Amino acid sequence: MQIKLHPRIAQPFRPQDYILHEALKNAVEVAIALGQPLLLTGEPGTGKTKLAQKVALDLSQLPGSDFGDKPLIFNTKTTSAARDLFYTYDALSHFQEANIKSANGQKAMHTADFIELQALGKAIAFTNPGGVDGSKFSTPLPEKPQSSVVLIDEIDKAPRDFTNDILYEIENYRFHMKEQDNYLIKKSDDRNIMVIMTSNSEKNLPDPFLRRCVFYHIPFPDAALLKEIVKTQLGSSTKFTDEMMDMLIEKFGAIRKRSVRKAPATAELIAWLRILEVQNFMEVSEAKQRQQMLDNLSILVKTREDLEAVKGVF
């Protein structure tokens, strides 16, 4: 038996297709009105990260808006320090370059050549490019002042000191560059920065940090909302009937309830349905449909324990 090569079926995410329900929309608007970060929790795959793309696009399309249409993104790591959110300085490369230039009798590069603004640092500098000395770093500035949406993804990955150390900067939107004689960069009063943070609740965040945030937990969608999301993501050309989609979502719900270690998320449901559609699920017998659902369980189930637990659904 030979392997078949199907056309790539993964579709790029379209922010305009994100379904923003009323409670989440209200949380976004409250955070903007208060000028506070929006902290999102929820199961992986419930749309926490994608929300930033939706918010950036919507804000950029408002009449007279100066928002960028894409978020500035900081992907938190277990080694992240507070400074990394604003800028990074590549001291090692600077040291190596200085030694090479010195050995060759050449003029050393400037410190600024090794400093790069990061997500929140960019957002702050972009609000007032004319008032910022761009010779202090290597990141290009826009010609006109710009408001931005900033995504700080999976902030709970960072060491506890990370959130404690950014309390002042994230409340006042200003930071110093110590490698450049403590040069201060601060936000312009007439521009906006909307900060969205996501957390998978892997560890508790400090209370002083939480007090400065608007909090919203994205619940897992009920069957009706899940169907709406699926229809939007699969598009109007989908071959699934409403009845068939209801049946598959019901099966998915049963799998989630039986899963022992990791319940599948919305993104995995959509991938599962796309594969079934490619395999002409609607056009085969019930026995073949059952086999296709079982054959593609690897999309929904990621552990051996869960695989054994959910087989009874079919």
The 3-state DSSP class for residue 217 equals: strand
Query: What pLDDT was estimated at residue 100?
Result: 66
Give the pLDDT confidence of 71-100 residue by residue, as tens digits.
Answer: 999 999 999 999 999 999 988 878 777 666
d(CA 269, CA 259): 14
d(CA 128, CA 113): 21
Mean pLDDT calculated for residue range 20-26? 92
8 Å CB contact between 75 and 155: no
d(CA 191, CA 187): 7
Question: Which of these, 187, 28, 177, 202, lies nearest to 112 by C-alpha position?
Answer: 177
Query: What pLDDT was estimated at residue 2?
Result: 60
Give the pLDDT confidence of 95-145 residue by residue, as tens digits.
Answer: 777 666 655 656 667 888 899 999 999 999 999 999 999 999 999 999 999
Give the pLDDT confidence of 167-181 residue by residue, as tens digits.
Answer: 888 888 999 999 999
The 3-state DSSP class for residue 47 equals: coil
pTM equals 0.85
Query: What length does the chain have?
Result: 314
Query: In angstroms, how far is CA 119 from the centroid of its own chain?
Result: 13
Res 248 pLDDT > 90:
yes
Q: Which residues pair with 116 in a beta bridge?
A: 88
Give the pLDDT confidence of 35-55 residue by residue, as tens digits.
Answer: 999 999 988 878 899 999 999
Query: What pLDDT was estimated at residue 3?
Result: 61
CA geometry: angle at 217 spanning 61 and 197, to 5°? 55
Res 6 pLDDT > 70:
no
Dihedral of CA atoms 251, 253, 258, 264 in degrees, nearest 10, equals 100
Give the pLDDT confidence of 183-210 residue by residue, as tens digits.
Answer: 999 999 999 999 999 998 767 888 888 9
In this structure, what token pair is assigned to residue 211? 């007090």
